[in-house]
Amino acid sequence: MAAALIHSADFIHADSFPNPQLLRPQIGVSAGREGGAGQGAKVGSLKFRSWLFPDIHVMNLHWQVGRDVSIVEESRADTVNINFQLSGHMNTRFTGIAREVGMKPHQHNLIFSPEGSFRNTVRAGEQVEMFHVSLRKKYFSDLIGCDDRWSERAQESLLKDRPFAGVESNAAMTPYMQKLIADIKQCGQSGPMQRLMLQSKVLELVALHLGQLQASTSSAPGLTMAEVGRLNELKAYLDVHFLEDFSLPQLSRLCLLNEFKLKKGFKDLFGTTVFAYLRKLRMDFAVNLLLDSSKSIDHISEMLGYEHPQHFSTAFRRYHGSPPSSFRA
């Protein structure tokens, strides 16, 4: 049986179903609202949850397909779109992008297609769940900067309105990405603080996604994109938990890499060893405490985990070239 060919305009606004690529409020749609839309047996069953922030639209979409379906969209979209495929299989053809994008469970990709036209094809019986993030083009451009080869190429494409995919093949979702998505889905909508926490998790998810894309063009031979993603997540974790004590086996378990891959991969990717990076974070933190607080050197030494203040002073002098007292003065 031939796939049912359906234009998205025939159903995408039905029953207040919002267009995931739009960043403006739509009539009848509120952030966090769950709803359903569809055309019976043609489209199948659609359920969604939608969150709208300044410059960001997030949607969690469940789609149970009753027959082979091809959905065609032809409207322009001035957004960069990131899709995290949680379940099901889907093939998409975007205008201006040569290859067809085939999505499998636990993969993610990034697409910029300013023409906005695409065709999604889903086979009968698929139960598709997507976590979709759209970002306004200018906002996305400001986020990625221009400090690496991937970002330079992306900025050029954005400037020229030239379609591009984030990478040649889809990247694998890491366990921490999956945890962030689960946290977002479970997050309520009661009050501004809750929305702020929700937005921060979305931005962290986007940052991890971009970290994988940017690292894909870095000089880290022998690392897969999944391993690069795990090392970026470990680095982000250490940025927060650098005052804790870690052993190599503990760090290995945290990032799900063996100790050799962890040591070599971290050095190749970031240009420093994992323990040298921890030492840098702690010594920089010590400088901030010395300059911006009234805490004693003994207290700062204790905060950084040194049993004796003189050990801290020796390590500090070796790293910064002068004693802690010189920063306090």
- Give the pLDDT mean for 70-74: 78
The pTM of the whole model exceeds 0.85: no
Q: 14: which residues sit within 8 A by CB, 6+ positions away?
A: 37, 38, 39
- Give the pLDDT mean for 113-136: 88
Structure tokens at 65: 């397909």
The number of CA neighbours under 13 Å toward the Cβ of 206 is: 21
Give pLDDT tens digits for 8-28: 556 555 445 566 666 555 433
Dihedral of CA 51/52/53/56: which sign? Answer: positive
Q: Would you list the domain boundaries of the chain?
A: 4-193, 277-328
Length of the chain: 329
Phi, psi torsion values for 286, nearest 5 degrees = -60, -40
In the chain, the amino acid numbered 225 is M
Give pLDDT tens digits for 32-44: 444 445 445 566 7
> CA 105, CA 209: separation in Å to the nearest integer?
16
> CA 150, CA 194: separation in Å to the nearest integer?
33
How high is the mean pLDDT of the chain?
Answer: 82
Range with the poorest average pLDDT among 9-13, 238-242, 258-262:
9-13
CA distance from start to end of the chain: 81
> CA 136, CA 73: separation in Å to the nearest integer?
19
Q: How many Cβ atoms are within 10 Å of 288's Cβ, its own excluded?
A: 11
Give pLDDT tens digits for 81-123: 999 999 999 888 888 888 888 889 999 999 998 887 778 888 8
Give pLDDT tens digits for 271-282: 899 999 999 999
Q: Which CATH class is domain 277-328?
A: mainly alpha
Architecture of domain 4-193 in this structure: Sandwich (2.60)
Distances in whole angstroms, Cα of residue 252 to Cα of each of 220, 248, 257, 268, 277: 18, 6, 5, 16, 15
> CA 189, CA 186: separation in Å to the nearest integer?
10
Does the pLDDT of residue 181 top 80, yes or no? yes
Of 42, 83, 94, 82, nearest to 64 by C-alpha is 42
Give pLDDT tens digits for 161-173: 999 988 877 888 8
